[in-house]
Every structure is written in structure tokens, then in C-alpha cells.
Amino acid sequence: MYRCRTRHFAEIDTNIQMKYSTIKNVFYRFGEWVEVSEDTKHKLGLRERKKAKTMASIQMHALRLFNELGYHETTVEQIAEAAEISPSTFFRYFASKEEVVIKDNYDPLLIASFEKQPAELSPLQALRNAIISGTNELSDAELETMRNRNRLIMAVPELRGATLNSLTGTMQLFAEIVAERIGRKPDDPDVRTFAGAVIGVNISVMLYYAEHSDADFASLLAEALGKLEFSFTL
């Protein structure tokens, strides 16, 4: 869950909103190229589709090289060569080698799903449903990619630091969308504590999933968030 998190969904540019308005129409997630309808392709335009496909290709080749050669041993130049782009093109998509592992497009999906949740649900129920619905849409290949990413993050100190910064942004995003739902401010201590608790649950599940190949990620996450529901009210 990453990127541009300090802005509310309504402030995210209209192209992003159009691309990620529904989970079933998403054609790009981390390192994956997902088939979509012809109508969605038409709305996105050739340029946007090419950009998303290039981003997916860079990340796919980067993960492969990290697994084969090691994270520190792999250079941006090697990633660019494998993806058949120039190093300068790499940096148009990713600010650093760390970002090629950390960056994804899940947040807009989660926000869109959260805002569709029935008003009678509690903030935690709404956020839990949004997170789980997105998780259930992941393909086996995407789940395996997630597992590999998490293993890599756990093994490389620089990636752990980058992930902490990323998750801090996600916590702020959760605080903003939850605060709007319940009519409170994002910097309300209770709202921030709630957002931090949800992030903590996600971290614990992601780490467990990285270490246990037979685990079911969606079930683990649903169970963990369910336990939080009984101990935290907002």
C-alpha cells in the first residue's frame, strides 16, 4: 500500500480516480499485467496503458534480478537493461532502487472500496471490508509476488527503512478517510491510534505470510482485523 498518501482521494487527480475506481477494472498492480475490458482500455488511453505496462515490466525484472543476484549486487543499469529501457527512463518511474520494491498502486483501490462501504458499518468494519475485498481480488501470482517482496524487505535494512516511511504514509491515509467518515479530524489522537493499530495488524500478517508458504493471506488478515474489532472502538 503506497504512494501519494497524504492527499485525500478527492484530491487525487482525475486520471488516477478513473483508473482505480473499481477493483475489477484494474489492469496494473505490483509487477502484474491484468486483463481488463475493452471499454476500460479505451478510457485509459494508449499512453496510460503503456506507462502502466512499463512500470510492471521494470518491477518484474527487478524482483527477478534481486532474487538471482541479490539486492545490493543488482544495479539500476542491470534492471533497465533487462526491462529494455534506459536508466533515465527507470528514474522517470522510480526515484530509487528501493522504490522499485516498495511502490505499488493498491491505495487508490482501497480508498475507492472504503468509500463504497455502507454508512451503518463502524470505521473498522468498513476499513476491514475494503482491505479484505482488495485482498480477495489478488491472483496467485500477485500473492506470490507479495510474499517475495516481503521477504526481500525483511532481509534488506534499507528496504525496511523505506517501508516504515511508506507505512507512515498509509497510516495518515487511513486517518484521513476514517476521520471524514466519522466527522472528526485526522490528527485526533484516537483516530491516529486507530489507524496505527490497523497498520500494526497488517504488518504482523505480512511478516507471518512471508515466513509461512502454506498460509492463506486473506484469511489471516480477516481473522486478525476481526480480533482488533473486539478490542478497539471509535
For the stretch 154-207, pLDDT in tens is 899 999 999 988 899 999 999 999 999 999 999 999 999 999 999 999 999 988
Contact between 26 and 138 (Cβ < 8 Å): no
How far apart (Å, rounded) are the C-alpha atoms in residues 120 and 106?
25
Q: Give the model's pLDDT for residue 16.
A: 30
Over residues 2-30, mean pLDDT: 35
More confident residue, 37 or 214: 214
**Tens digits of residue pLDDT in 99-131:** 999 987 777 778 889 999 999 999 999 999 998
How far apart (Å, rounded) are the C-alpha atoms in residues 60 and 79?
9
C-alpha cell at 154: 525483511
Q: Give the model's pLDDT for residue 39.
A: 52
Mean pLDDT across the chain, nearest whole number?
A: 81
How far apart (Å, rounded) are the C-alpha atoms in residues 92 and 45?
19
**pTM score, two decimals?**
0.73
Over residues 73-93, mean pLDDT: 96
What residue has cell string 512500470?
Answer: 55
Over residues 65-84, mean pLDDT: 96
Q: Give the model's pLDDT for residue 196.
A: 95
How far apart (Å, rounded) are the C-alpha atoms in residues 139 and 33?
11
Q: Taking 90 as the threshold, does the pLDDT of residue 7 lie above it?
A: no
More confident residue, 188 or 4: 188
Over residues 43-68, mean pLDDT: 84
C-alpha cell at 49: 496503458
Contact between 146 and 2 (Cβ < 8 Å): no
3-state secondary structure of 33: strand
Backbone angles phi, psi at 6, to 5 degrees: -80, -5
CA distances for 167 relative to 20, 73, 85, 103, 114, angstroms: 20, 26, 30, 11, 18
Q: Taking 50 as the threshold, does the pLDDT of residue 72 lie above it?
A: yes
